[in-house]
Chain A
C-alpha cells in the first residue's frame, strides 16, 4: 500500500514536469501549428544558464548561486529571449509554411542550440548542485516524500492556475485563445498576429524555465541533449491529450508520468529497459484509435 502511494507521488512528480513541458509545446502548436522540437533545448538553456561557461566536468554555479528572487527572473529572461530570437529568425519568415515544414525547421533550431551549448560548455555531462538542501524527505504518516517533489507539484499547480487565469481573465489571454482557434479571423479583428505568437513563445519559454530548474535540482546533471527526452515525452503527452488542447496537454502529461512510473515499477525486470518503447507504442496506438486525443478540440480535426 505504501509502495503504491510512493509510486503515485513519484508519478505526480514526473507527471508535473511532463505536463509543464507539454503545456509549452501545446501552446505553440495551438497558435502556430508548430510541433516545437526545440522546446527541449529551451529547457537545456535554462539549466546551462545557471553555470559558468567552461569545459570543466563539475559545473560551477554562476547565476544559479544568486538569491532565488533574482536568479529565477534572470534565467527566465534568458530563456524567453532565446525563444523570441528563434521565432524572429526562423519561424517568423516561415509563417506561411506547412506544419511539417515548421516541424523540420524546429528540428534545425534544436540542432543548432544543442551544438551551440556543446560549443560553449563542452559535450560531456556535468554535475551541478542546485538547491541541494531541498531533498530532505518529509514524513507524511509512513510516506517519505522529498520536499523537492512537493515543491515540483506545487509549482506546477501554481503555474497552471496562473496560466488559466491569464488566458481567461486578461485581454492578451483572450486574444491568444481567439488566435489559437482561428488565427486569420483574429487578425481580421485587428489582433496582431506576430505579437500573439511572440507572446506564446515567451510563455512557452517561461514554462520551459520552470522545467529546467525543477528538473536540474532533481537530477543534478547537465548535458547538451538533456532536454531531448523531456521534449519527446512532452510530444507524447500532447498527442495523447489531444494536440491543440491545453487541458489535454496537462492531462496527457500526468498520464504519461503515471504510465512511465508504473511501467518502471511493475514491468517485469527484463522488460523494464524497454519502458520508453512501450510509451511510444502507446502513442502510435492513440494516434490510430483516437487521432484527436483524449481531450479533442475542433481545431485539431480541421488542421490535420
Chain B
C-alpha cells in the first residue's frame, strides 16, 4: 500500500461503514412504514445482532456452534429478571435472589446484565470445551443448548417454567434495535481485524493449526467465544424487551436453525455475509409468510399451506450449501468502490 495513512484507514474500515449505511437505510425506510413493518424491522435488527454475534465466533474460529441460542436464552431471562415488576416476581419467581426479586432496574443495566451473564457462562463452558474442535466441538455446543433448554423450561421458581415470564416492558422498537445492531457490527469488525481476529483466522485456514490445541489458539478462541456470547446475550435481552413475554422454547431448535440458515446463506466467511444472510432470509421468510396468509388474485384468495416458510427456508439453505458453499457473499467483504476495475481483481479479500 503506497497510499498515505488517511485513505488507508478509511479503506480499512470501509466494509464496516458500508454495512452500517445499508442497515441504517433499511431502518430509515422501514420506520416510514406501518406498524407491521416496524415489527418486522425490529425483529430483523435483533436477529442481526444475534447472527453477527454468532458470526464473530464461527466466522473467525471456523468451529460450528449450535449452542449460541442458549446464550440468547440466558441473556433474555437475565434481563427480564431485572425489569419485570417486583410484585409479580415475588409471587412467581420465588427462587430469584433478593436483589432481583425486590428491585426493578432500568432497560440498559438489564441489557448489560444479560450480556454479562451470557459471557460469564461462555467463559465457564468455553474454558472446558474450546480445545475440542470439529464434530466433537459442535456436539458439545449442542449439548449445551439442550442443557439450557432443560434447565430454563423446568426451573419453576426462577424462570416460571412453562407458565412464562410476562410483563417484560416492551421498550425495543426499530431505532433501539438499530443502535445495538450498529454496536454489534462495530464490535465484530474491530475484533475481526484485530490481532486476535487475524490469529484465529490464520488457525482456521490452516488445518494443522486449527486441529491443534496449542494454548495460544485455545485462548484466542475462548476470547472470541466469550465476546460472541456477550453480543448474543445482549440480543436475547433485546428480544425479551421486544416480545414482552418469555418462554424457554422460543430459544431452541427453530431459532437455532433460522440464525444458522442466515449465516450459511450469506456466508460464514465474512461480516458482509452475515449481514447479507439476515437481510435475504428475512425478506424470503416475510414473502413466504404473506403468501401463507393469502394473496388475493382476482376473486380467489390463494395461499400456501402452513409450514411453507420453514420448508422454503430449508430448501433455500440446502441450495446455497450445494451450489454456493461459501454463501452469497462468498466470504468477501464489501469491496472498496473507488479502485479502478482493472486493479480490483488484485485486491486481496480480508
Q: Do chains A and B touch in the complex (CB under 8 A)?
A: yes
Cβ of B147 within 8 Å of any chain A Cβ, yes or no, is yes
Contact across chains for A276 and B150 when beta carbons are under 8 A apart: yes
Contact string against A for B residues 307-347, beta-carbon threshold 8 Å, 1 for contact and 0 otherwise: 11011011101100110010000000000000000000000
Stretch at the interface among A113-121, A179-187, A194-202, A248-256: A113-121
A115 touches B307 (CB 8 A): yes
Judge whether B253 and A228 touch: CB under 8 Å. Answer: yes
Q: How far is B315's CA from A89's CA once the two chains are assembled, in angstroms? A: 10
Cβ of A104 under 8 Å from chain B: yes
Interface of A is mostly: helix
Would A304 and B133 count as touching, CB distance under 8 A?
A: yes
For the complex, is B146 an interface residue (Cβ under 8 Å from A)? Answer: yes
Closest B residue to A225 by beta carbon equals B253
Docked CA distance A123–B311 (Å): 14
Assess whether B321 is in contact with A105, with CB atoms less than 8 Å apart: yes
Residues of B within 8 A of A115 (CB): 307, 310-311, 314
Which residues of A sit under 8 angstroms from B321, Cβ to Cβ? 94, 97, 101, 104-105, 108
Q: Are B253 and A103 in contact (CB under 8 A)?
A: no
| Interface segment out of the listed A63-71, A146-154, A159-167, A284-292 | A284-292
B177 within 8 A of A: no
Q: Which of A94, A105, A116, A284 contacts B143 (CB 8 A)?
A: A284
- 13 A-B pairs with C-beta separation under 8 A: A90-B318, A103-B64, A104-B260, A107-B260, A108-B317, A108-B318, A111-B257, A118-B310, A239-B136, A276-B147, A276-B149, A277-B150, A277-B151
Decide: B307 and A105 in contact? CB cutoff 8 A.
Answer: no
CB–CB A304/B140 < 8 A: no
Interface residue SS majority, chain B: helix
The 5 closest A-B pairs by CB, nearest first: A273-B154, A112-B314, A119-B307, A100-B64, A115-B310
Say yes or no: is A62 at the interface (Cβ < 8 Å to chain B): no
User: Are B136 and A119 in contact, CB atoms less than 8 angstroms apart?
Assistant: no
Q: How many residues of B contact A (CB 8 A)?
A: 42
Of the listed residues B128, B138, B311, the one surrounded by the most CB atoms of chain A closer than 10 A to its CB is B311
**A284 B314 Cβ-Cβ under 8 A:** no
Contact A274:B305 (CB < 8 A) given known A116-B311, A284-B143: no
Cβ 8 A contact of B311, one of A93, A119, A284: A119
Expressed in whole angstroms, the minimum distance between the Cβ of A299 and any Cβ of chain B is 12
> A72-94 toward B: CB 8 Å interface, digit per residue (1/0)?
00000000000000000110011
Contact status A108-B310, CB under 8 Å: no
Residue A11 at the B interface, CB < 8 A?
no
For A273, what are the chain B residues with a Cβ–Cβ distance below 8 Å? 150, 154-155
